[in-house]
Amino acid sequence: MRSLILFALLGGMLQDVESQNITQTSAISFSATPVTTAIPSATVPLDTPVVGQGDYPPEQYLCDQGKNTTYCAGVLLQDVQLAGLFPDSKPTNGTLNDTIAAFNALGSNVTVGQIETFVESNFKGEGLDLEQIPIEGFVQNPAILDNISDPIYKAWTSIVNSYWTLLIRETNESSICNGNCDSSLIPLNHTVVVPGGRYHEIYYWDSRWIIEGLLKSELYDYAWNLLQNMMDFIDAYGYIPNGGRKYYLNRSQPPMFIQMLDAYVKVTGNTTILERALPLASTEMEWWATNRTFNYTSPFTNKTVLVAHYAVNNSAPRPEGYVEDYETVTGTTPALNATGKAELYSELASGAESGWDYSSRWCKQPVLNVSDNNPALRTLNIKAIIPVDLLSLLAGDHALLADMYDLHANSTNSTSSSNSTGILPPTANSTANSTSNGGSSANATYHRQQAQAFSDAVLDLCWDPVKSWFYDFNTTSNSRSNVYTPAGAWPLWQNITPSELVNNETAALNFVSGARFLLGRYSGIPSVASLLYTGLNWDFPNSWPPHLHTTIKAFETLGRLYPNASTLSNLTIPYSQVASGQLGINETALQPQPASTIGNVSLQVQEAQGKPWPLALSIEYANRYLGAAFCSWYSTGGAIEGLLTQLPLSELNATGTYTAGQSGVMFEKFNATDTDAAGGGGEYTVQVGFGWTNGVVLWAAGEYGQYLPAPTCPMIPIIEMSNNGTSSSYSNGTTVNGTGSIVNATSGNSTSSILFAGYRIPRDDWKRAVEEQ
């Protein structure tokens, strides 16, 4: 996802800070959640020598141009990280000169105990350089709530709408270094919305779906601030880094700024932001053109096409994942030489730049080892891969940017004011540079040419007309990948449509055949990150909020192509009806759907029946997503005052994700086979918060809420109560013991007189019932 946690104040130590206690509350009265910093604690005898001494990486240019810092790869950071004092990789505080002097005084052959004492004496807790602040101008009842039919979903969406107060931050000036210490924070001038959990600062591509939610919540000022922060990054660096820490300055993330800008302008109608934004957006595109693009000759058409890849200049462990990277690189057999180490460190950082850190789509050879990620990570081949989603995004960025240049020219009644800085990217192949360098018209023409060039590359290299899907292109093998991922939906999201899908509804149905099969195969969100169960963060069974959004957007594109699309008696299909080879895996090799986690989930809902199939698929996918987000929230203590009781405490930890004191959490990812549970795998535990999850909930509820049935949680029937919640006798005649009274509900607002309560069916009991049937 994003690379994690951050070096906090002065110097980068790795401190495991317990995630801020995200006890969700619907009340908008503000109470800042304190940051809890873990105490450094050795897990081996204190006289144990720190591993890795003498095997240090070269200086990295991103760390203050190679100067001595405590938060970037070097002797100090490595010794502290590899001492194993914290379960996560993180950092801290103290004056730089004093901290370096204290470390140097330790001498050579340092022990874990010496490092523990050093950390306690010289570093402060991570996460203190940004502070939580209350929402200003909160909209209690945004218009999207009027679009939601089901009372539980409507009240729950209102609660999610209030969660922004948990994620809004601003720079804590009292904790920022004033020239006498070493801070990894990139101070920003505007309010920040963070993802949540261990992600205590702004992250680039997360912000795409955060702004989607802010716009649905009608928090337009915060969306404005988010965009201003992104523009400040471009002003300072010429691009937008992975996140708001200095150790992220050697990489970016999927270029979403133009997408965010376009969404803001379309929702608010405020074009004044374009005066500043347009030249900066062009600057960002220039950075990608200069640093991440190249020409490639297609083996299919023999044409030279413009392509892009993720490729980070890095030869050291990522500071925010130091221990993990070090163990991956130094644990190889046979051992890597200096060149080999640098190359693998570069691949690891490139994976972080992709946002998909990490997935089997990046591996030379997927390794199905769910208990150890390292064998797969040692085969990373990211820089040699032309990602279909990156190409599509760049095509869409340039197309939107061209449109916004036209919009700004029209709004100012001038063809020159939007380009007062004369910013035309100096791309050698651009014919736009031969035209006037001063007008919006020339800029729009240039960006449309770039959009077309990237679109042509997508259709040439990535579109497989036989399999009817888009795939990454691998320059090592000079062929398309056969790994099926939701990235293949991005071209349609960005309006790149193969000619085969135009005026041929059968071909369009072939394109969604894999999606239809997965809808019937698994009970959770069908836009699963991949179908390979490797244990990596972005592989099966994990389903991520961005993929749900982009997959539905692809369905919407097909809906525009076929406004009179047919209705289907059954949206789900068997494996035999999937386009040949599309899924890249035999049916027998697919992971099963456990009967014990399907419960009472319906694989198709009545509300989608009789609708044109692109709309029906969108409804089904939105229903699965909102079901996963709601049910995992309810499974971790969620309740809605006056409407839905909290589950009894004895039943709250059935999925292993409940923590005492929670009242419902929003996870960063979900499990495609278990609607009640969070996702898992990867180099860090599943996070809660969570910015992009909240954003996609608000988007999906706003767009498809009128079609959604009541939430159906697999092992937690939710039943209307009789006797005003004071009895365990339900209106359908079912009697359940120990449900609890509705007055114990702790969060949410509702004016409904209908009362609901849930109860958990033990999974073993359900499994036995299924087997008996």
Cβ-Cβ contacts under 8 Å for 583 (sequence gap 6 or more): 484, 514, 517, 531, 575, 590
* Nearest of 188, 165, 193 to residue 236 by alpha carbon: 188
- Count of beta carbons in the 10 Å neighbourhood of residue 722: 15
CA dist., res. 70 & res. 8, Å (int): 10
pLDDT of residue 31: 61
pLDDT of residue 18: 30
CA dist., res. 119 & res. 10, Å (int): 12
Residues facing residue 528 across a β-bridge = 543
Amino acid at residue number 280: L
- Count of beta carbons in the 10 Å neighbourhood of residue 87: 14
Q: Are 416 and 353 in contact (CB under 8 A)?
A: no
pLDDT of residue 99: 85
Token pair for 715: 């092992």
Amino acid at residue number 145: L
Burial of 680 (0-12, 13-18, 19+ CB in 10 A): middle
pLDDT in tens, 88-114: 654 444 567 788 889 999 998 999 999
pTM for this predicted structure: 0.90
294 φ/ψ angles, rounded to the nearest 5 degrees: -160, 170
Altogether, the residues listed in the chain come to a count of 773
pLDDT of residue 64: 63
pLDDT of residue 199: 83
DSSP code, position 724: G
CA dist., res. 757 & res. 719, Å (int): 6
* Nearest of 144, 138, 79, 147 to residue 110 by alpha carbon: 79
> Parallel, antiparallel, or unpaired for β 36-37 and 17-18?
antiparallel
Q: Profile the chain (773 residues) by mean pLDDT over runs of 10 residues.
A: 34 31 44 66 91 90 68 88 77 67 92 92 76 93 97 97 93 67 84 87 97 98 98 98 94 98 98 97 98 98 98 95 95 95 98 97 86 92 98 98 96 52 36 43 96 98 98 98 97 98 97 98 96 94 97 98 96 98 97 87 89 98 96 90 87 66 86 85 67 97 96 87 48 38 37 73 59 52
**No. of helices (H) and no. of strands (E), the chain:** 21, 17
CA dist., res. 248 & res. 15, Å (int): 18
Cβ-Cβ contacts under 8 Å for 402 (sequence gap 6 or more): 443, 444, 445, 446, 447, 448, 451
CA-CA-CA-CA torsion sign (401, 237, 245, 389): positive
pLDDT of residue 392: 98
3-state DSSP call for residue 688?
Answer: strand
Amino acid at residue number 695: G
